[in-house]
Amino acid sequence: MSAAQMLASWIKDQKLKAPTMKDGPSFYRNLEEALDVRRADHSMFTRNTSAWKTGSAVDFCSNDLLSLGQTGRMRSAFLEELARHPNFNLYSGGSRLMDGNYQYIEQVEQEIADFHGAETALIVGSGYEANIAMYSAIPRPGDAIVYDELVHASTHDGMSHTLALCKMPFRHNDVDSFRDVMTSVMDSQPAIRDGSRSILVSVESVYSMDGDVCPLEDLLEVSREICPKGNAVFIVDEAHATGILGPKGAGLVNALGVEKSIAVRLHTCGKAMASTGAVILGNASVRSTIMNFARSVIYTTAPSFPTVAAIRAGYNLLKTGETQDAQGHIQRLVKHFFTTIASNPVWDEASEMGILSIPLIDDWESRDFLVHIVPLWTRQRYNFWLVFHLQLSGFCAFPIDYPTVPKGQSRIRLIFHGANTEADVEGLAATICNWAQEMIDIEKKGAGAKKVPKAAQQVYALMANV
């Protein structure tokens, strides 16, 4: 399927269906009425096959951050790991707490813990499963959770099962807001104030929709000031920092050298390491608590040998330093993108007119870390038109819309990879600016002019033939 056909199919999937089912079974009609709410807002999720997977476009959308999947390096490492254990079982045999535990998984978990400078590690099925497990099991009655307002959906789902007495957000990456919320919790909760209960602080090292990095050291300093009894502990989701930040890709916590200050860390293996699963890091008390109180761990089959072998293969690539060139290359590509697009003659006018903005481009040279995620902001709904333009020009990127982000904050998320080239980045920047120029021309023509850009016209024309 070409990019144009994929886009046309996606748009056609946004057409309302319930009105055509008035005489159909109420069960299915009710389902379609619920889906029509999404379709009406063009936020209906559909299954798509990206054009980059067929070699007809450049990948600026996937989670294969270090390009270990695209280049086949992960496949080779995985097959080599399997070859070292020719008699492995495909099944695990049950829950980790019954017949599903085995020596190999224990060995790999300890290797991962050692790599990150943690006491223990626990492998689970996914980052989502990990957050459900952590927040349903770790907070005790009377504890409080203070969380960044932009934490992942799985963290919110986990917190919905928590025993914590209260949950309070602070403004995203805002240290002053964090201080205010921490002070409020201390003032309102006597058991926390006297040190008998705890505040669990939930943050992400890299935020997946904004591409910014947590001011972790500043938050730690405030927590020590507000909670001198040491009963403020941090849970750090490192999903988008794994393989990207820190020595050999060990994450933000390792990059800052604050391993001993963080109670719990989450690393996922389905992004930079191009495999699957996730790892929860903590001490023995944290691990035992999860294994005893997290229903998503207790009542599920343990990860199988091939799953754990894939995780080990990915970590071996990190540990041996084989991914460090890709890690550094991503930093250079993002810098090159910022300088290239900002030097384009269209950039200043497009920014001033509000047609295009890149929040992360401001003061990027002063930041300690640049990461692979760069969101592009346009006028609302223009993000779809820009995606059409990019896709038809051979660059894979997707619109991010509600409910993934709040209403009114739609954007396009660019993801840079180890296998992208400077030429790819230059072509991407030029294509974005070509679209911006087209939109500037359309807006300047005013009333009566054709308001839809050429790429969108082409996609809309294809809809009738899909």
The per-residue pLDDT for 1 is 56
Domain C-terminal end among 285, 320, 355: 320
Can you tell me whether residue 374 is helix, strand or coil?
strand
Has residue 38 been placed in a domain? Answer: no
The per-residue pLDDT for 44 is 77
Q: What is the pTM of this model?
A: 0.93
Number of domains forming the structure of the chain: 2
Pair (206, 145) in one structural domain? yes
Pair (354, 425) in one structural domain? yes
Whether the Cβ atoms of residue 166 and residue 333 lie closer than 8 Å to each other: no
Q: String of b and e for 161-196 (b: at least 16 CB within 10 Å)?
A: ebebbbbbbbeebeeeebbebbeebbeebeebeeee
Instruction: Determine the structural domain holding residue 460 and report its residue range.
Output: 3-25+46-70+325-465
* Lowest-confidence region among 50-59, 322-331, 430-439: 50-59
What angle is formed at CA 238 by the lines to CA 429 and CA 93, rounded to 5 degrees? 120
Output the domain CATH number for residue 171.
3.40.640.10
Strands 264-268 and 232-237 come out as: parallel
Mean model confidence pLDDT for the chain = 93
The per-residue pLDDT for 381 is 81
DSSP 25-86: -HHHHHHHHHHHHHHHTT--------GGGGTSSEESS-S-TT-TTTTSHHHHHHHHHHHT-T
Please report which confidence band the pLDDT of residue 38 belongs to, taking 50, 70 and 90 as the band edges.
confident
Pair (126, 267) in one structural domain? yes
Pair (61, 200) in one structural domain? no
Has residue 240 been placed in a domain? Answer: yes
Pair (161, 140) in one structural domain? yes
Output the domain CATH number for residue 367.
3.90.1150.10
Q: What is the rounded distance in angstroms from the CA atom of residue 263 to the CA atom of residue 283?
A: 8
Pair (342, 246) in one structural domain? no
Q: What is the rounded distance in angstroms from the CA atom of residue 361 to the CA atom of residue 432?
A: 15
Has residue 343 been placed in a domain? Answer: yes
Q: H helices within 231-304, ranges in order?
A: 252-256, 284-293, 295-298
Has residue 37 been placed in a domain? Answer: no
Residue with tokens 């055509």: 20
Domain C-terminal end among 260, 285, 320: 320
Taking only the tens place, the pLDDT of each residue in 211-269 is 999 999 999 999 999 999 999 999 999 999 999 999 999 999 999 999 999 999 999 99
Please report which confidence band the pLDDT of residue 45 belongs to, taking 50, 70 and 90 as the band edges.
confident
Pair (112, 55) in one structural domain? no
- Mean of pLDDT values over 303-313: 97
Q: At what angle do helices 3-12 and 382-392 cross, to 10 degrees?
A: 150
Domain C-terminal end among 293, 320, 347: 320
Taking only the tens place, the pLDDT of each residue in 393-431 is 999 998 888 888 888 899 999 999 999 999 999 999 999
Can you tell me whether residue 260 is helix, strand or coil?
helix
Pair (156, 262) in one structural domain? yes
Has residue 78 been placed in a domain? Answer: no
Pair (305, 339) in one structural domain? no
Whether the Cβ atoms of residue 60 and residue 416 lie closer than 8 Å to each other: yes
